[in-house]
C-alpha cells in the first residue's frame, strides 16, 4: 500500500477517503490508527466524554475489510463522533451531566443508519449540558476550545463535535441543533453545519426528542453534509413532529441558480458586537454571493431577532423544563450554574403564557413566509462575533444569548439553515456565514452553501488556518 496521504494531517473528508480506499492506497484500519494517534497527539482537549477503545474500533475496521460486499457501503471505513445526548448501545450517554449518566438499551436509529452504512464510531463527545447553550462551556467534562486559539470558545452545544472535525480527528460528527448547536461550532472551527428543516429527521434516541430543533452533522464539506443527511431523512409516525414530506426528501450540491435574491440585515440590525473584522468577513461573503449571481436586499431583521430572544428569554424555555424538570427538581445541583438558572426559568410560565407566545411566533412565521415570496434566501452572520472562554465564564448567560442572535429563531420558525466558513480575522479566529431558506427549502440552502464555500477557497478546519504572515 502506497499513499501520499499524511498519517498526521491527511484530509478526512468522505470523498478523499473513499477515493484512497478505491485505489487501495489506504485502508480503514490505517485511517482508524491515524485517528487514534491524532487524538493522542492532541492530548487532553476535552473533546471526548467516552472514547471507544482503539482495539474495538480497529476490530470494526478489520471486519469491514474482510467483508467483500462492504466496499460498496456509502460510509465504508469513515470515522465519526457522536454528541453525548445521542445514544450508542453499550456506551454511556450523559448529555454532559455527570450525575445523569445512563446506559442506553439501544442505539439511536440515526446512528444505527450510519453504522449499517459502514461508518466507524470513535466515541461520545462533549457538549453544553442538555444541549442548552451555543458556547461549549457548560459541561462537567472540561471545556473544549476553538481549534485555532485555545483561549477562545469552541461554540456549542456540539462543542466536542466541532473541535473534532475542525482538528481532523474524525470525518464528521453527529450533532443536534435547537438554538444553533449544529451551526455555531461549525462557524468557529472553519467547517460546515447544515441543519435541516425540523421534522425531516426523526429524533428518537436523543435527549432532545420532543423539543424544537433537529439532528444534523458537522462536516468538512457541504458534499459530506448532503451525503449524510440524505441517508437519514425519513418520515417516522412514532415521532409526533415528523413531517410526512420527509419520505423521499433529498438535497443536492447541484450548481447554484444563475440568479437568485437574498436578504441581508440592514445597517440597524447587522450586529457584530463591535467586531469590525466580523463585519468585513460577512461583507466579503455577501460580495461572493453577488459574484455567484445573487442580488442582495437589505431588510429590517427586528421581528426575527425578537423571535430569537423568545427561545430562552420567554415561555418557550418551559419546553426544556417539560423535558428535564423531574430530574432537575430532584437535584438542581447536578447542573452547572448557568444551565441550572436557565432551566429554572421554565417553572414560572403558565399555559396561558405559552399559548400567547405561540401566537406571537405564528405571526413571525407569516412574516417570514412573506419575506420568502420576495427572496430565495436570508443570509446573516452565523454569530455576531466570538468570545474568550474567560469572558464566557465571567458573563455566561448574556454572552451566550449574544452568540445566538441570528441562530435562535431559525428552528422556531420551521426553517433550514447552513453555516459555511467566512474566513479568518487577522488574529486567526474563524467565523461563519449562515444561509437560511424557507421551510423545506433545504436544497437551495445546500446548493448555494456549497458554491459559497467553494468560492471562499480556503481548506476546512485546521488545514485552512492562515500562515503567520496572514496568508491562507
> Pairing mode, if any, of strands 48-51 and 430-436?
unpaired
157 a catalytic residue: yes
Q: Would you list the DSSP string of 299-355?
A: E--HHHHHHHHHTTSSTTHHHHHHHHHHHHHH-GGGS-HHHHHHHHGGGG--HHHHH
181 a catalytic residue: yes
Name the active-site residue from 181, 207, 383, 419: 181
Name the active-site residue from 93, 108, 157, 419: 157
| Residue 142 φ/ψ, nearest 5 degrees | 85, 160
Name the active-site residue from 57, 83, 159, 164: 83
145 a catalytic residue: no
359: CB partners within 8 A, 6+ apart: none
236 exposed, middle or buried (CB, 10 Å; 0-12, 13-18, 19+)? middle
129: left (phi over 0), alpha (psi -120 to 50) or beta: beta
- How wide is the angle at C-alpha 226 spanned by C-alphas 225 and 227, nearest 5°? 95
* Nine cell digits for residue 175: 450533532
Rounded CA-CA distance 218/291 in Å is: 27
100 contacts 94 by C-beta, under 8 angstroms? yes
Q: What is the largest CA-CA distance in the chain?
A: 67
| Residue 28 φ/ψ, nearest 5 degrees | -55, -40
50 exposed, middle or buried (CB, 10 Å; 0-12, 13-18, 19+)? middle
Residues in the chain: 472
Looking at the annotation, which residues are catalytic?
Answer: 83, 157, 181
Amino acid at each position: 500500500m502506497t499513499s501520499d496521504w499524511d498519517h498526521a494531517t491527511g484530509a478526512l473528508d468522505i470523498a478523499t477517503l473513499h477515493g484512497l480506499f478505491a485505489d487501495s492506497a489506504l485502508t480503514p484500519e490505517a485511517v482508524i490508527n491515524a485517528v487514534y494517534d491524532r487524538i493522542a497527539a492532541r492530548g487532553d482537549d476535552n473533546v471526548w466524554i467516552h472514547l471507544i477503545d482503539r482495539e474495538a474500533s480497529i476490530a470494526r475496521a478489520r471486519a469491514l475489510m474482510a467483508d467483500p460486499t462492504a466496499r460498496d457501503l456509502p460510509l465504508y471505513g469513515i470515522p465519526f463522533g457522536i454528541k453525548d445526548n445521542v445514544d450508542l448501545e453499550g456506551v454511556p450517554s450523559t448529555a454532559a451531566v455527570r450525575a445523569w449518566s445512563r446506559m442506553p438499551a439501544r442505539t439511536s436509529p440515526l446512528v444505527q443508519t450510519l453504522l449499517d452504512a459502514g461508518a466507524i464510531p470513535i466515541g461520545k463527545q462533549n457538549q453544553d449540558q442538555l444541549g442548552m447553550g451555543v458556547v461549549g462551556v457548560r459541561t462537567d467534562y472540561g471545556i473544549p476550545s476553538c481549534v485555532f486559539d485555545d483561549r477562545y470558545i469552541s461554540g456549542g452545544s456540539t462543542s466536542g463535535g466541532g473541535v473534532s472535525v475542525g482538528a481532523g480527528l474524525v470525518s464528521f460528527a453527529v450533532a443536534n441543533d435547537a438554538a444553533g448547536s449544529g451551526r455555531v461550532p461549525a462557524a468557529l472551527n472553519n467547517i460546515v453545519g447544515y441543519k435541516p428543516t425540523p421534522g425531516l429527521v426523526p429524533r428518537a434516541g436523543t435527549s432532545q426528542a420532543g423539543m424544537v430543533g433537529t439532528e444534523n452533522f458537522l462536516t468538512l464539506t457541504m458534499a459530506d453534509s448532503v451525503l449524510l443527511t440524505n441517508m437519514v431523512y425519513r418520515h417516522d409516525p412514532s415521532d409526533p413532529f415528523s413531517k410526512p414530506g420527509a419520505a423521499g426528501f433529498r438535497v443536492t450540491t447541484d450548481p447554484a441558480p444563475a440568479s437568485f435574491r437574498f436578504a441581508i440585515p440592514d445597517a440597524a440590525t447587522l450586529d457584530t458586537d463591535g467586531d469590525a473584522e466580523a463585519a468585513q468577513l460577512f461583507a466579503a461573503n455577501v460580495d461572493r454571493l453577488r459574484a455567484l449571481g445573487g442580488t442582495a436586499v437589505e431588510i429590517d431583521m427586528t421581528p426575527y431577532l425578537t423571535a430569537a430572544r423568545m427561545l430562552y428569554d420567554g415561555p418557550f424555555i418551559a419546553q426544556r423544563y417539560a423535558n428535564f424538570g423531574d430530574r432537575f427538581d430532584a437535584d438542581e445541583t447536578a447542573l452547572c450554574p448557568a444551565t441550572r438558572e436557565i432551566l429554572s426559568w421554565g417553572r414560572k410560565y403558565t399555559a396561558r403564557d405559552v399559548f400567547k407566545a405561540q401566537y406571537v411566533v405564528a405571526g413571525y412565521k407569516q412574516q417570514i413566509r412573506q419575506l420568502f415570496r420576495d427572496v430565495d434566501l436570508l443570509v446573516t452572520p452565523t454569530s455576531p462575533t466570538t468570545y474568550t472562554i474567560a469572558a464566557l465564564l465571567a458573563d455566561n448567560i448574556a454572552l451566550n444569548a449574544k452568540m445566538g442572535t441570528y441562530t435562535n429563531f431559525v428552528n422556531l420558525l420551521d426553517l433550514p439553515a447552513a453555516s459555511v466558513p467566512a474566513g479568518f480575522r487577522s488574529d486567526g479566529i474563524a467565523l461563519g456565514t449562515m444561509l437560511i431558506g424557507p421551510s423545506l427549502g433545504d436544497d437551495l440552502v445546500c446548493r448555494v452553501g456549497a458554491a459559497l464555500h467553494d468560492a471562499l477557497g480556503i481548506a476546512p478546519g485546521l488545514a485552512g488556518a492562515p500562515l503567520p504572515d496572514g496568508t491562507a
